[in-house]
Amino acid sequence: MKYATVLLALLILTLNACAFSRGTLGDELKTETINSIKKGVTTRAEVLAKLGAPDRIVQLNGRDLFQYYRYDAKVGSLLLIILNFSRVTIKSDDLFVLVDRDGVVEEVIASKRTEGLEFRFWPFGD
C-alpha cells in the first residue's frame, strides 16, 4: 500500500506540464501603409493595391466601408492531472477605410493593439 501511494505521488508530480501557444488571424497592418492612405486623395483602387481585398465590406448609403483586421492570441496553460488552468489573451489591429460614391477615401480609422502582447500565465486576476 505504501508503495502504491509513493508511486501515485510520483506520477502526480511528474505528469504535470505547462503549455504555451500563439495564434494569429489576418495579415499584419503596417503603420507606413496606413499612413499612406490620405483622406480626399487616395482612391479605392489604390487602397486595394496597397492592402489587397478587405476582410469585410459594409455598404453604407452608397459608400463602402472596408475593414481589415489582424488578431493575435496567446495562451498559457498549467496542466495538472485532475485540474487544468488556462489564460487566453486576445488583441486586434483594425483598419476601417470609408470610400465615398466617387471612389475616393472619405475616412480612415485605425487601431493597433497587438504590439507588446505578452503571455499571461497566471490564470487568476491581472
pLDDT digits (tens, 9 = 90+) for 70-79: 999 998 888 8
Higher model confidence: residue 30 or residue 80? 30
Q: What is the C-alpha to C-alpha distance for residues 73 and 29, in angstroms, rounded to an integer? A: 16
Higher model confidence: residue 40 or residue 118? 40
pLDDT of 103 higher than 90: yes
pLDDT of 126 higher than 90: no
* pTM higher than the cut 0.85: no
Radius of gyration for the chain, computed over Cα atoms and rounded to the nearest angstrom: 24
Q: What is the C-alpha to C-alpha distance for residues 35 and 13, in angstroms, rounded to an integer? A: 53
User: Strand runs (DSSP E) across 1-126, as ranges?
Assistant: 17-25, 56-60, 63-79, 84-99, 105-112
